[in-house]
Amino acid sequence: MSPSGAQVILGTTNLSGSRLLGRKSAEDDAGRFRSAIEIGSVFNEAAVAGVDAVATLNQLEILTALKKTRQVFPDLQVYPIIPNVIGYVREATDYGLVGAARRRIGQMALLDLFQIGVRSALKAPRVLKRDFNTLMAILFEVELASFKSLEPPSVFLHPQITDLALSLGNRALFELYFKTMRTRFGAEPGLATNNLGWLLPKLQEWKLETPLVLTPFNPDGFLMKPSQPACEALLRSASCQVVADKVDATANPNQRTWNYLRSYGVRSALIEFWDDQSFGATIKQARKHLAG
C-alpha cells in the first residue's frame, strides 16, 4: 500500500457470516455466502467497480475465491489480517484442539509445513514454556503460508492481538511483528486496533513506527476510542497512514463521510458488502472522493 495513495479496500466480515453491531444487513449473509463461488461473485463485482484491495482473515472459502478473482483481476491486492483468532476458537469448539490443528495443517503445502516445522523446532524450549511472543511468531508463519501465492504487500496484526499487547505493555511483540513482516515476508506491517487513542501515544513513547493503522474512523464517532475528539486530535499529527474502518457500519457512506475523512487527511477506507443495490455505487463514490 502506498503511504500517500488513496485506496478503497473491501472487508470480508459479512462474507464470513459475522456481522457488525451497528447495522443490519439487507441480506442473510450467513446463509448466502456458503461457497467460494458466491463469495467470488462479490469480489468480481468489487473489482469491476474499482476496489483496490481486499482485507481478510485466513478463511479457506474466502482465499479460494480471491485466488480465482485474481486470475481475472491480477491488480487486486490482498491484505491479510493475522492471526485469525476467532477462526481458531471456532474450529477448536467444533473439532477440538487436535482436530482444529489437523484441519489447519491439511490446508498447508508440504514445503511450507516443513520449513515452519524446522524453524519452530529451534523455538521448542520457549514453546514448552508457553511464551506468548514465541507462539505468536509461529502463528504468523502458519497464517501467511496460506497467503503466499497472493503476494500481500501489507499485513495487518489482528485488533484483538494488537490491543491485548497494548494493554500488557508488550513492546517486544510489536518489535517482533514489525521485523518478521519486513525481513521474512517483505511486507509492510500494519496494525489493526479498536483503541487508536491509546495505541499511537504508546508507539510514540516506545519509538516504534508503523506505516499503516486500520481503525474505526467516521463522522459519527462510532467505536472511536477513547473518544472522537481524542482520535481526531491524534490524526492531525500522526505520521502513519490511517485506513478508516467502520465508515459504513451504521449506514451507507455519503458525501459527508468522504468530506470528513479528507478533512483529517485520510485517503484510504475499508468498506463492507451490505446489499447488491448500493455496493458498486459506494465503491465508485469512495474512489472518486478519496482520490479527488
pLDDT bucket at 255, cuts 50 / 70 / 90: very high
| Alpha-helical regions (H) of 34-84 | 36-49, 60-72
Mean predicted confidence (pLDDT) in 137-155? 90
Q: Domain locations in the chain?
A: 8-291
pLDDT in tens, 173-194: 999 999 999 998 999 999 999 9
User: How many C-beta atoms lie closer than 10 Å to residue 31's C-beta?
Assistant: 8
**Is the predicted pLDDT of residue 264 greater than 60, yes or no?**
yes
Q: What is the pLDDT of residue 124?
A: 44
Q: What is the pLDDT of residue 120?
A: 46
Q: Which DSSP category does 51 fall into?
A: -
Burial class (CB in 10 A: 0-12, 13-18, 19+), 43: buried
Which CATH number is correct for 8-291, 3.10.150.10, 3.40.50.10800, 3.30.43.10, 3.20.20.70?
3.20.20.70
User: How many C-beta atoms lie closer than 10 Å to residue 38's C-beta?
Assistant: 14
The pTM (predicted TM-score) of the whole model is: 0.86
What is the greatest pairwise CA distance in the chain?
A: 55
pLDDT in tens, 200-240: 999 999 999 889 999 999 999 999 999 999 999 999 888 89
Residues ≥6 apart with Cβ < 8 Å to 118: none
Residues ≥6 apart with Cβ < 8 Å to 213: 190, 191, 192, 193, 196, 199, 200, 238, 240, 241, 242, 243
